[in-house]
């Protein structure tokens, strides 16, 4: 009987070790280069499994990592804490820390030095913090988030970074809120628009910004994930419209090696 129990214990231990290796290293390495598999693994299988096991959500776990490891009032340490969490603990759909996406966003914000910014899609506030950190004094950043659970977490992340004075987070759909920007939020036009929400909303929201007169000559649109998951109708429109001058930046899907890109488009009026 002791021998049997020992064999059973070894089998269970070996099985558990194998599952851990598969979960922690093998499967993530295998899906690194494949867009569909990477999103299925990280954004469906792992997220749902951890939600059940921890009785929490990924945004809540991300906020916990910020509170544990970031210095309150230090936005750069908040960005580092989220990057570290996403690279080593649990993947999440942020702009990401690699030389590509995060640095492209930073360089565009620095180059434009905008007085007014619109961010479409806050999620947990990662890119909001990156943008707000680089804004000149007195600049206004309005960020729109459709999901109230995400908005709740993002407010706390932004507050932890000490940026609540610079950021106006509004809950609701972009299609409903964009037409209210002038009368409700006192914005004449946006110097920079960062599109990082539902990919099928990129094109209709861009046309809505045009119709509402919220783009002026020189306004810059920066759209993330235009290759993966992708927004082909937006790319076709923005690259062929005489109203825009576009430039493509190659990058990777957040924290993977899947090919992706950002599209920077200057509104010519």
| Domains of the chain by residue range | 1-74, 104-267
Query: What pLDDT is recorded for position 189?
Result: 98
Catalytic residue among 205, 224, 260, 263: 224
Give the right CATH number for 104-267 from 3.40.50.12780, 3.40.50.150, 3.30.70.360, 3.40.190.10: 3.40.50.150
Query: What pLDDT is recorded for position 27?
Result: 57
**pTM exceeds 0.75, yes or no:** yes
Catalytic residue among 97, 191, 254, 260: 254
Catalytic residue among 119, 225, 263, 264: 225
Annotated active-site residue 224? The verdict is yes
CA nearest 46: which of 66, 24, 21? Answer: 24
Annotated active-site residue 254? The verdict is yes
Query: What pLDDT is recorded for position 71?
Result: 98
Alpha-carbon torsion (252, 254, 258, 261), positive or negative: negative
Annotated active-site residue 233? The verdict is no
Annotated active-site residue 191? The verdict is no
Annotated active-site residue 260? The verdict is no
Residue that is written with structure tokens 């957040």 in the block:
254
CA nearest 197: which of 252, 144, 129? Answer: 144
Q: What is the pLDDT along the chain (269 residues), one digit of tens a residue?
A: 666 666 666 666 666 555 554 556 555 665 566 666 777 777 778 889 889 999 999 999 999 999 999 999 999 999 999 999 988 888 776 555 554 578 899 999 999 999 999 999 999 999 999 999 999 999 999 999 999 999 999 999 999 999 999 999 999 999 999 999 999 999 999 999 999 999 999 999 999 999 999 999 999 999 998 988 889 999 999 999 999 999 999 886 655 566 788 999 999 98
Contact assessment for residue 94 and residue 126, using Cβ atoms and an 8 Å cutoff = yes
Angle at 146 between CA 141 and CA 147, to 5 degrees: 115
Catalytic residue among 97, 119, 145, 196: 196
Residues 6+ apart with CB under 8 A from 196: 95, 119, 120, 121, 123, 127, 223, 224, 225
Q: For residue 259, how many other CB atoms are within 10 A of its CB?
A: 13
């Amino acid at each position: 009987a002791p021998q049997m129990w020992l064999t059973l214990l070894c089998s269970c231990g070996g099985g558990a070790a194998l599952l851990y290796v598969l979960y922690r290293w093998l499967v993530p390495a295998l899906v690194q280069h494949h867009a569909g598999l990477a999103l299925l693994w990280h954004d469906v299988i792992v997220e749902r499994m951890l939600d059940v096991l921890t009785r929490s959500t990924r945004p809540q776990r991300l906020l916990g990592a910020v509170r544990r490891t970031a210095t309150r009032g230090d936005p750069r340490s908040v960005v580092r804490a989220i990057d570290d969490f996403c690279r080593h603990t649990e993947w999440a759909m942020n702009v990401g820390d690699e030389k590509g996406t995060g640095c492209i966003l930073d360089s565009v914000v620095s180059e434009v030095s905008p007085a007014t910014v619109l961010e479409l899609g806050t999620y947990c506030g990662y890119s909001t913090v990156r943008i707000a950190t680089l804004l000149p004094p007195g600049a206004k950043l309005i960020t729109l988030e459709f999901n109230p659970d995400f908005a709740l977490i993002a407010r706390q992340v932004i507050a932890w970074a000490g940026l609540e004075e610079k950021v106006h987070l509004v809950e609701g759909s972009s299609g409903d809120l964009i037409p209210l920007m002038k009368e409700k939020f006192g914005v004449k036009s946006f110097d920079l628009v960062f599109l990082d929400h539902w990919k099928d909303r990129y094109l209709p929201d861009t046309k809505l910004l045009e119709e509402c007169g919220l783009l002026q000559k020189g306004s810059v649109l920066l759209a993330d994930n235009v290759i993966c998951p992708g927004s082909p109708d937006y790319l076709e429109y923005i690259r062929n419209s005489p109203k825009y001058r576009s430039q493509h930046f190659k990058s990777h899907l957040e924290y993977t090696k899947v090919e992706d890109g950002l599209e920077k488009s200057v509104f010519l009026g």
